[in-house]
Amino acid sequence: MTSKQQLGMRIAYLRKVRGWSQLDLSLESGVNRNYISDLEKGRRNPTLDVLERISDAFGITLEVLFKGVENIPGL
């Protein structure tokens, strides 16, 4: 499993724990719903800006967003 896939799974997990749909996360973060779908499937390579917007929507830090995600180069 790639780091992009693991990150996508983490985002999907955090979203589902809150009871949010992809549309809910899209509205909270300002990130397009289709982009979020692709991100959760590991098809996107998100920018730092996108990751910050998603973590802000969840009310967490980037560190917590990446918690549990393995094999990310540089961490």
Nearest Cα neighbor of 54 from 8, 2, 6 is 8
Express each pLDDT in 15-66 by its tens digit: 999 999 999 999 999 999 999 999 999 999 999 999 999 999 999 999 999 8
Domain boundary assignment for the chain: 3-65
C-alpha 63/C-alpha 35 separation (Å) is 22
- Chain centroid, CA 22 distance in Å: 11
Q: 3-65: which CATH number, 3.60.150.10, 3.10.20.600, 1.10.260.40, 3.40.50.720?
A: 1.10.260.40
Cβ burial 10-34 (10 Å sphere, 16+ → b, else e):
bbbebbeeeebebeebbebbebeee
Query: Which of the pair, 66 or 71, is modelled with greater confidence?
Result: 66
* Predicted model pTM: 0.87
- Could you tell me where the beta strands, DSSP code E, fall in 1-75? none
